[in-house]
Amino acid sequence: MDRRFKPGDNVRVIQRSQPGHVRTPMYVRGKVGVIERVVGSFPNPETLAYGQSGLPYKMLYRVNFMQKELWDDYEGKPDDSLEIEIYEHWLEAN
């Protein structure tokens, strides 16, 4: 399956409102991170959750964000980070 991104690429999570079984939490939408690894292709949870096939499969990535990017008032250390899984259709090149 084709993949748009590779480890080290800068990406932005798409800022959009979408109801349903979406696995992209609000706190990462619109935020910029770096691809940590390509996980592989998985059924799309946004349709799978409703008894559908989950096809076509979606490429899944782990994305690393600096905590300071996620929270303006982050109180920890500047190097602290967070990693989360994001499907390709929620990512754009940055």
- For residue 87, state whether it binds other proteins (rule: CB under 8 A): yes
- Give min distance, CB of 71 to other proteins, in A: 6
- Give min distance, CB of 8 to other proteins, in A: 17
Tallying the residues shown for the chain, one arrives at 94
- For residue 29, state whether it binds other proteins (rule: CB under 8 A): no
Query: How many Å apart are CA 35 and CA 65, to the nearest integer?
Result: 9
Please return the burial class of 49, using the count of CB atoms within 10 Å of its CB with bins 0-12, 13-18 and 19+. middle
DSSP 21: S
Among 80, 89, 92, 94, binds other proteins (CB under 8 A): 80
Please answer whether residues 39 and 85 qualify as being in contact, where contact means their C-beta atoms are separated by less than 8 angstroms.
yes
- For residue 45, state whether it binds other proteins (rule: CB under 8 A): yes
Q: Which residues bind other proteins (CB under 8 A)?
A: 23-25, 27, 39-40, 42, 45, 60, 62, 67, 70-71, 74-77, 79-87
